[in-house]
Chain A
Amino acid sequence: MIEFERVSKRYAEGHDALREVSVTIEKDDMVFLTGHSGAGKSTLMRLIMLMERPTRGRVSVDGVDLSRVGRARIPAHRRNIGVVFQNHQLLFDRPVFDNVALPLLIAGYDHREVGRRVRASLDKVGLLSKERAMPITLSGGEQQRVGIARAVVGRPKILLADEPTGNLDPALSAEIMALFEAFNQVGVTVLIASHDLALISRLHHRILTLREGQLVGGEGH
């Protein structure tokens, strides 16, 4: 589903964020990505959703070589990927409902369908009662869960999550991970970046480890 072939990413400042990364993530897989801060986890995810282009090497998603996806087709590519961002990226002037509904609006769903799906999605993350609340009135963990609800509401083929449990207590973290497992169970390919080694090693999924931009564990397949 996601394939990296000797991918390197050097930012304009000359810093090598990724070096010769080769990895294949199969369809229906659930994979953790770990490593120190600055190891290149977010960079790897940004390459998948075409926020960045690799300096060298090739990234393909669902059999499509991303170097062939031009600017005009980036939106369609991103609509197939649900993303939970490290810093939430919520619209702070819109209520929770509107935030979660955004991907459906972009994809052009009928408004009744939007209401139904948004509530189902909010229900899954335990925020149904907050649908009218403004994000600013929510705790960090609740905001994170709104981000998760938004990422899954469009039922994407791929789910990327960058530190999805960063702000959550252990119980809630475990609950959120179970939620990701449930999505994976119904056929979503899941890639989660996390520092929380204790939590992810308990879950028995493949773990990729990055160190200074190089894959040092879990590479290949």
Chain B
Amino acid sequence: MSSRANNRREGAVQSTTSFSDRYKSWLQHHRLSAADSLSRVIDNPLSSLMTWLVVGIALALPVGLSVALDNAREVSSRLDSTARLSLFMADKTTAGDAAAYADALAERDDIADVVFLSRDDALTEFSQLSGFSDVLDSLDDNPLPHVILVEPASTDADDIAVLQAQVQADAQVAQAVLDMAWLQRLNRLMELSRRLVQALGALLLLGVVLILGNTIRLAIENRRDEIVITKLIGASNGFVRRPFLYTGLWFGVGGGVIAALLVAIALWFVDGPVQALASSYGSDFQLGGLGLMNSLNLVFFGGLLGLAGAWLAVSRHLGDIEPR
């Protein structure tokens, strides 16, 4: 190019530059736009920090909640999820009848395991576990019935319900309780929470895009004269758009970093109490965090949202700015 620098026709060179030159200059302008946008963002630390915080908080909320849900699921998966029927014998059933009934149950194909717990055994176990031994000792009568713990052979909920109905119908049995129920309820609750978090997340993401879109709209408005001038000199829409897309990217990336930090800080904040709680249950449960990969994903995702917001603003407002 420089060998022809003195050629008066060089004005026409633009249209004949090779593809690799065009690619190089395109890359160069990307670098320039990225650096220029970043320095503009950093030159206004206070307002940029505000934007970063808003984006960060909006991202950290759903992400933090879903990390909490992941941990809850981890806890619930450690719970013994084998369905068990507790058969409480009728008062008039004697220990002998109950034991015989238990033996009969053990013969059945649809039952994997049977444990018979006489009312005396039950009382002993209960007083040991509950710490209410003094209270129980002071009682004249043992209030507990005989209990038979039944582990169904099938894990299918319908099969278990059929079995439950059958044993419930037997005269010896006062009540057949499915121990699974509370776990299922917990799981359903967690599923519901997950849906709610997803809905909240979707709303907040939309909010982030709109907030960033508005921030970029203001940036465009502030640089209106500059846009008009560059368009007059022959800048393409892509050229004019580029710095604003980068501005959106930087706001989004910064917001993602803040979000990752907020989630990490929140986890660190609750980690002590959670550890104490877990060890009091004799559990070695460890609170799971975002991890490096997911934190990076969050930053990346923030950048994508920033680009989306910037794109929204740029496509809505840049076209309106034409030289007059």
Contact = CB atoms under 8 A, between A and B. Distances in A.
A51 B234 contact: no
B17 A108 contact: yes
Interface string A83-115: 101000111110000000011011111110100
B16 interface: no
A103 B32 contact: no
Most buried by A among B2, B15, B323: B323
B12 A157 contact: yes
B319 to A, nearest CB: 9
Contacts of B195: none
A78 B234 contact: yes
Nearest to B323: A51
Given A79-B14, A157-B12, A106 B5 contact: no
B14 A102 contact: no
B1 interface: yes
Interface string B237-250: 10100000000000
Nearest to B10: A155
B239 A116 contact: no
Range of interface residues on chain A?
A: 35 or more
A187 B233 contact: no
Contacts of A155: 8, 10-11
Contact of B226 (A77, A91, A109): A91
B155 interface: no
A108 B233 contact: no
Nearest to B23: A108
Given A108-B17, A157-B12, A103 B234 contact: yes
Nearest to A90: B229
Nearest to B322: A51
Contact of B24 (A90, A110, A187): A110
B193 interface: no
Contacts of A49: 232
Nearest to A107: B14
Most buried by A among B11, B24, B232: B11
Contact of A75 (B1, B15, B22, B236): B236
A116 B2 contact: yes
Contact of B1 (A110, A150, A156): A110
A76 interface: yes
B33 to A, nearest CB: 10
A105 B234 contact: no
A83 B232 contact: yes
Range of interface residues on chain B?
A: 20 to 34
A51 B228 CA distance: 11
B92 interface: no
A105 B10 contact: no
Contact of A111 (B28, B231, B232): B28
B26 interface: yes
Given A110-B24, A111-B28, A113-B1, A89 B11 contact: no
Interface in B21-47: 21-22, 24-26, 28-29, 32
Contacts of B234: 75-81, 103, 106-107
Contact of A154 (B11, B26, B28, B230): B11
B231 to A, nearest CB: 7
B9 interface: yes
B322 to A, nearest CB: 8
Contacts of B78: none
Contact of A186 (B8, B14, B15): B8
A118 interface: no
B235 A108 contact: no
Contacts of A108: 14, 17, 21-22, 24-26, 28-29
Given A106-B234, A187-B8, 12 more contacts: A75-B234, A75-B235, A75-B237, A78-B234, A79-B234, A80-B12, A90-B229, A102-B233, A105-B32, A107-B25, A108-B25, A110-B1
Interface of B: 1-2, 5, 8-12, 14-15, 17, 21-22, 24-26, 28-29, 32, 225-226, 228-237, 239, 323-324
28 contacts: A75-B231, A79-B233, A79-B234, A80-B14, A83-B233, A89-B228, A89-B229, A91-B225, A92-B225, A93-B226, A102-B230, A105-B32, A106-B233, A106-B234, A106-B236, A106-B239, A107-B25, A108-B14, A108-B17, A108-B24, A108-B25, A108-B26, A108-B28, A110-B1, A110-B24, A155-B8, A156-B11, A157-B12
CB-based closest 8 A-B pairs: A108-B25, A78-B234, A79-B234, A186-B8, A75-B236, A155-B11, A187-B8, A106-B235
